[in-house]
Amino acid sequence: MPLLEQSDVLQRFARGDADAFEDLFHLHQGAVYRWILRIVRNPATAEDLTVETFWRIHRAHARFNPSLSFEAWARRVATNAALDHLKSAKSLERLPDDLPQVPLPDPGISQEVRRKTAQAFGRLPPKLRVVALLTLIEEQSHSEIAEALGISTGAVKVRTFRALRLLRKSLKQQGIEP
């Protein structure tokens, strides 16, 4: 969508125009879904949370500043929706059964150790888990994660470090020496 046209859509959205909301939905649903999928790692949940994100966006349209990036705002709303979901869910959903294939698995690490690591990771506090997932697994930049969570890049680094420290402790308790 051309820049001028997009600016017009954003202004109409902020005023509560339903057609503008639909345009933005179609334009950004894929990006919002991909971002949420990185956090929850379950396609069905990511779809539900994408709808939840746009529901929150729709309700908050009057607070949106059309001169700012819609994508960044939507990503932050999506991150909060995903975090709320993780807080309410008991652990990372169906993780042990849904383990994706690692492109080049290290033969020195057994399937059992991988499973236990994934489970221990799923037990981390959601705030730490989200940051560690996005930083270490999805390899997103610190600034991108900081913007999505509304925290500083320093806080992203601290949470990543704390997540790794907790994970190490949890694995040690299970007899796994990383």
Partner 1 sequence: MTTHDHKRIHHLLTQSLAPTNTELKAELQRDLWPAMLRRFEQRSLAVPWFDWALAAAVLVCLALFPRAIPVLLYHL
CA distances from 55 to 20, 21, 48 (A): 14, 10, 11
Min CB(87)–partner 1 separation in Å = 20
Q: Minimum distance between the CB of residue 139 and partner 1, rounded to whole angstroms?
A: 7
Cα–Cα dist 88/108, whole Å: 35
- Residue whose CB is less far from partner 1, 117 or 153: 117
Binding mask 85-104 for partner 1 (x = CB under 8 A): ----------x---xxxxx-
What's the rounded Cα separation, in Å, for the pair 101 and 99?
A: 6
* Residue 125 engages partner 1 in binding (rule: CB under 8 A): no
What lies within 8 Å, CB to CB, of 153 at 6+ separation is 142, 143, 146
- The answer to whether 93 and 41 have CB atoms below 8 angstroms apart is yes
Question: Residues in contact with partner 1, total (CB under 8 A)?
Answer: 44
Q: Please give the C-alpha separations between residue 30 and each of 63, 92, 124, 134, in angstroms, as whole numbers.
A: 23, 22, 28, 18
Long-range contacts of 44-47 (CB under 8 A, 24+ apart): 45/85, 45/93
* For partner 1, the closer CB: 8 or 47: 47
138 binds partner 1 (CB under 8 A): yes
Q: Does residue 16 belong to the site contacting partner 1 (CB under 8 A)?
A: no
Binds partner 1 by CB under 8 A, chosen from 87, 137, 150, 154: 137
Residues that bind partner 1 (CB under 8 A): 22, 25-26, 29-30, 33-34, 37-38, 41, 43, 47, 50-51, 54-55, 95, 99-103, 105-106, 109, 113-115, 117-118, 121, 132-133, 136-139, 161, 164-165, 167-168, 171, 178
